[in-house]
């Protein structure tokens, strides 16, 4: 199935993205699919390729979120302008998924570099959830003895430059990192969310010690990664979820006293090693923290959850459109994309991009990943509408 939409593109994808990121109008708005926060669930992807009449073997980008790697054919069909490059796990790390039986059910278990175990039951196969928090019972003294992963391990970066060079020299796409810099969330992955919330009130010294370790890991990782490819990237993606549907997930005072200084270390490290634009991901009503992100040097906000309180597209564009690029926010992903007709999807996309696109500073994407169960007709309607209505002239 091919789109019959015809427009005269006058720029390469890379030129288009760069203009958008510099708050200039290009020939059309850039379009994105394929990242860890801008991707597509395996089930939705398999439905999509069947709908398009393609024969492919689905590859997994992220086993935790069960994201697929979109093929080049699909990316071109959906007019995607960005391609992604990632580092590798260190050679000494065993990241193989283990199949185990518990309570009569078969489980797929993945232990990450931090010692966190992610598990998915074979009778569900939608996502992995945390089944083991390695620091759940830890004391402050235990942190000094913990086997922390080495962010500077050079085996992570041995092959990444060749991949980035191929994208830079053999394609015309913008080049982005995959997600990194997950400084705050990693803490509660290791500690457990409930215990971490108690720590923020009763044991803040533990929180500061733990987040110092995660921040140092990302400083070391980013130094190595950007040392290898910092000159080849257009975008570097970082993020921590700071907000929920209605507002901050925890005290803004705690954020500004404890989390923000560690975020600043990560951002300063990025700025010391690359001119790439800094993309920050947080779901929810993040309006409380947008001024903080701008002050720290963030250039791009994702996913722009327009269905959350305080995230109205018109208000965001009017208030922050000169300071931030909005990457996402293309459709209400909670109520419209899953349940509306293709015609309604098309109209919702048209409405939103007409708000975000004036003056540049916008990259189209769904709000976060396309989830399992989203009809392929709606996916096609979403991307075709972004392409059709996204031309400036």
- pLDDT of 145-163, one tens digit each? 999 999 999 999 999 999 9
Task: Yes or no: say if 30 and 16 are a contact pair by the CB < 8 Å rule.
Answer: yes
Task: Give yes or no for residue 118 having a pLDDT over 60.
Answer: yes
Task: Yes or no: say if 303 and 327 are a contact pair by the CB < 8 Å rule.
Answer: yes
Task: Give yes or no for residue 298 having a pLDDT over 60.
Answer: yes
Whole-prediction pTM:
0.95
Q: How confident is the model over 276-303, as a mean pLDDT?
A: 98
Nearest in space to 171 (alpha carbons), one of 254, 110, 108, 232: 232
Ranking 4-8, 215-219, 304-308, 352-356 by mean pLDDT, the lowest is 4-8
Task: Yes or no: say if 92 and 100 are a contact pair by the CB < 8 Å rule.
Answer: no
pLDDT tens digits, residue range 349-360? Answer: 999 999 999 999
d(CA 357, CA 352): 9
**Can you spell out the DSSP letters for 329-359?**
-SS-TTTTTTTS-HHHHHHHHHHHHHHH-TT
Task: Give yes or no for residue 5 having a pLDDT over 60.
Answer: no
Q: How confident is the model over 373-393, as a mean pLDDT?
A: 97
d(CA 171, CA 213): 38
Task: Give yes or no for residue 277 having a pLDDT over 70.
Answer: yes
Say if residue 137 is exposed, middle or buried (CB neighbours under 10 Å; 0-12, 13-18, 19+): exposed
């Amino acid at each position: 199935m091919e789109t019959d939409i015809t427009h005269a593109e006058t720029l390469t994808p890379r030129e288009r993205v760069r203009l958008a990121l510099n708050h200039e109008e290009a020939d059309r708005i850039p379009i994105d699919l394929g990242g860890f926060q801008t991707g597509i669930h395996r089930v939705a992807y398999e439905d999509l390729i069947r709908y398009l009449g393609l024969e492919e073997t689905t590859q997994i980008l992220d086993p935790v979120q069960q994201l697929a790697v979109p093929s080049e054919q699909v990316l071109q069909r959906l007019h995607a302008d960005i391609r992604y490059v990632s580092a590798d796990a260190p050679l000494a790390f065993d990241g193989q998924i283990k199949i185990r039986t518990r309570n009569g059910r078969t489980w797929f278990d993945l232990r990450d570099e931090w010692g966190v175990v992610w598990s998915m039951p074979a009778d569900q196969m939608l996502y992995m959830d945390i089944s083991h928090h390695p620091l759940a019972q830890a004391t402050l003294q235990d942190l000094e003895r913990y086997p922390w992963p080495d962010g500077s391990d050079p085996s992570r970066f041995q092959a990444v430059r060749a991949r980035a060079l191929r994208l830079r020299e053999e394609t015309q796409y913008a080049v982005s990192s995959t997600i990194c810099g997950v400084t705050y969330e990693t803490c509660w992955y290791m500690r457990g969310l409930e215990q971490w919330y108690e720590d923020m009130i009763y044991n803040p010294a533990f929180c500061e010690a733990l987040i110092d370790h995660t921040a140092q890991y990302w400083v070391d990782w980013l130094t190595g990664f950007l040392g290898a490819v910092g000159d080849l990237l257009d975008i570097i993606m970082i993020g921590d979820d700071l907000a929920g549907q209605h507002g901050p997930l925890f005290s803004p005072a705690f954020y500004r006293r404890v989390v923000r200084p560690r975020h600043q270390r990560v951002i300063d490290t990025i700025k010391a090693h690359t001119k790439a634009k800094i993309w920050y991901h947080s779901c929810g009503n993040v309006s409380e923290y947008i001024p903080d992100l701008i002050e720290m040097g963030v250039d791009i906000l994702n996913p722009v959850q327009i269905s959350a309180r305080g995230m109205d597209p018109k208000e965001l564009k009017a208030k922050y459109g000169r300071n931030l690029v909005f990457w996402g926010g293309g459709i209400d992903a909670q109520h419209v994309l899953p349940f509306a007709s293709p015609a309604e999807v098309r109209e919702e996309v048209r409405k939103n991009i007409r708000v975000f696109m004036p003056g540049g500073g916008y990259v189209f994407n769904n709000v976060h990943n396309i989830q399992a169960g989203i009809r392929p007709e709606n996916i096609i309607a979403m991307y075709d509408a972004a392409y059709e209505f996204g031309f400036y002239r």
